[in-house]
Amino acid sequence: MHAPIRILMVVDGRYPATGGAEMQARLLSRSFAAAGHEVRVLVPHLDRSLPFADQVDGIPVQRLGYPKIKGLGAILLNLNFALWLLRHQGEFDAIHIHMMHNLAGAAGWINRWLKPTLIVKVSGAAEFQGGILDQKLMTKPVHWILRKGAQRLDAYQCISKKTVKIMLKAGFAKERLHLLPNAVDLVRFAYKGTRDQSSLRAVFVGRHVPVKGLDVLLESWVRVSLQSPDAHLTLAGDGPERERLMTLSRQLGIENSVSFPGLVQDVPALLSSHNLYVQASHQEGLPNAVLEAMANGLPTVATQISGHEDVIAHGVTGLLVPPNHADELAAALSHLAENPNLRQEMGATARRFVEQYFSTEAVMQSLLAVYTQPSAPLSHPMTKAKINANR
């Protein structure tokens, strides 16, 4: 057991919200508080319908005000954030920022005057494409300033091996990079009972955006539905591509075997009503949706990209296929459609894998080590996972 410490969770977005960073901050806040640590949350006051101060899950939340003026508003928010940290630093032992964005850059510039450990989570696409770590934007003054500030933080939680490589290439100190995944709520996503394996019921949960490769998934489903007429695909979530994808399903003649339920509140129940998870993304950080599906006991068919490769053992907990290859994706889905016992076996192994490496307890203990000794070597059990059948 670790002695109780005082932790400030910082979310650079709306809170509470359903985004990955926001949900992860909320899960860790609850878990640390339940373990006896003192936790508070600090966020920008983006949603003006919410008060400046309230509680979420019994944990105090402070929202920083700023004027909504394009360009100027972000600058004033960063200044307000920096001043708030300087005024309140004595109230915390560790400050955990849940995305390397504006607030992380602002915090870095004042870190030399701060006593708490400053750690930021680096997720991937949000920072590397259009964010402060995008190499194409390094000549822009604002990005340069924020990046230089971010390089002054004490530690970096990198959630995938690819993230570590990119951070090293970008000039971040190796001793401050920690490969440390997102945590999964094993209790919430646990499946109880016997899953229906009579026919393939595949599901995807997430944003309907081009990077998720849902058009490729629909193209592959044409072949799957021909070989397995009883198979069904559910694409839950919303986004700018949703209407186009619904039209595409009709054009492909598979509208009767594909459903689009929109945003789903009870995701564990949705996962429990299916027997396979599928994700055809072109790029990912460390996908929470895949980890939650594995925690629910589902095998996963996914593209062979960083993030997926970190958590899916090909042939053991699921199948990996090249991105943007509808035929190979269809072959993998059809293989598991025809082998219900293999689906069940892979799903059970996936659950055990997540229990071992991605439980809130395992991630919390690793984070506590970083909070107290940010430059000490950290080897989270995830880095030692060698269950891929092809290794």
- Rounded Cα distance between 62 and 55, Å, is 9
Task: Give me the torsion for CA of 127, 129, 133, 138, rounded to 10°.
Answer: -150
Domain boundaries of the chain, sorted by first residue: 6-183+359-384, 201-356
Per-residue pLDDT band at 387 (split at 50, 70, 90) = very low
**CATH number listed for the domain at residues 201-356:** 3.40.50.2000
Token readout for 358 is 């991605």
Residue 152: predicted pLDDT: 95
Cβ contacts of residue 75 below 8 Å, gap of 6+? none
Per-residue pLDDT band at 389 (split at 50, 70, 90) = very low
Residue owning tokens 């309230």: 54
Per-residue pLDDT band at 331 (split at 50, 70, 90) = very high
- Rounded Cα distance between 69 and 18, Å, is 25
Model confidence pLDDT, tens digit, residues 217-248: 999 999 999 999 999 999 999 999 999 999 99
Residue 379: predicted pLDDT: 53
Q: Say if residue 388's pLDDT is above 60.
A: no
- Rounded Cα distance between 146 and 138, Å, is 10
Q: Say if residue 134's pLDDT is above 90.
A: no
- Rounded Cα distance between 121 and 9, Å, is 11
Model confidence pLDDT, tens digit, residues 251-278: 999 999 999 999 999 999 999 999 999 9
Radius of gyration of the chain, Cα coordinates, nearest whole angstrom: 21
Model confidence pLDDT, tens digit, residues 63-102: 999 988 887 888 899 999 999 999 999 999 999 999 888 8
Q: Say if residue 382's pLDDT is above 60.
A: no
Per-residue pLDDT band at 127 (split at 50, 70, 90) = confident
DSSP 184: B
The CATH fold assigned to 6-183+359-384 is: Rossmann fold (3.40.50)
Residue 52: predicted pLDDT: 96
Residue owning tokens 């070989």: 227
Q: Say if residue 380's pLDDT is above 70.
A: no
Under 8 Å between Cβ of 275 and 200: yes
- Rounded Cα distance between 312 and 320, Å, is 8
- Rounded Cα distance between 299 and 317, Å, is 6
pTM for the full predicted model = 0.86
Mean pLDDT of the chain, nearest integer = 91
Nearest C-alpha neighbor of 357 from the set 118, 184, 100: 184
Residue 146: predicted pLDDT: 87
> Do 201-356 and 6-183+359-384 have the same topology in CATH?
yes
Percentage of the chain modeled with pLDDT above 70: 95
Any alpha helices (H) in the chain, and if so which ranges?
A: 20-34, 72-88, 102-109, 125-128, 141-150, 161-169, 214-227, 242-251, 267-272, 288-295, 308-311, 326-337, 340-357, 360-372
Q: What letter represents residue 45's amino acid?
A: H
Longest dimension (CA), the chain: 64
Range name among 10-14, 28-32, 53-57, 198-202 with the lowest pLDDT average:
10-14
Residue 281: predicted pLDDT: 96
Residue 391: predicted pLDDT: 35
- Mean pLDDT across 133-141: 78
